[in-house]
Amino acid sequence: MAVKGWIEVSDTYCKGCEICISACPQAVIELNMAQLTPKGYHPAHTFKDGCTGCAICAVVCPDAAITVYREITKVNTPVTA
């Protein structure tokens, strides 16, 4: 099963430059045209499921606006003899 992740985009920092949108391997980010940041930008947000928490958006973000989380999947403890 695919790893599940999510991002938080800070309104304070995001300038809507769209670099994260073009970099996202899952193509799940877009600008939120329904919202404006205090500086007047449309911030990025995930608009559909599919984020894996790969953090590529954060790697390319020029404004350190993105915090990335990933769901912790339970790892079966291997049974040893």
Partner 1 sequence: MTTPNLVYERPEAFTDAPTHYCPGCTHGVAHRLVAEVLDEMKVTDRTIGVAPVGCAVFAYNYFDTDFVEAPHGRAPAMATGIKRVLPDRVVFTYQGDGDLASIGMGEIVHAAARGENLTVIFINNANYGMTGGQMAPTTLPGMKTTSSPNGRDVETQGYPIKVSEMLSTLDGVGYCVRRSLHDPKNIRLAKKAIRMAFETQVRGLGFSMVELLSTCPTNWGMTPVNSLKFVEEHMIPAYPLGDYKVSDAIKQIKI
Contact positions vs partner 1 (CB under 8 A) = 5, 10, 12-13, 15-19, 22-23, 39, 41, 53, 55-56, 58-72
Which residues fall within 8 angstroms of residue 45, CB to CB, at 6 or more apart? 9, 29, 30, 31, 32, 35
| Both tokens assigned to 51 | 């984020």
Query: Considering the complex, what minimum distance in angstroms separates the CB of residue 42 from partner 1?
Result: 11
What's the closest the beta carbon of residue 12 comes to partner 1, in angstroms? Answer: 6
Q: How far is the CB of 9 from partner 1 (least distance, A)?
A: 12
Closest C-alpha among 25, 29, 28 to residue 44? 29
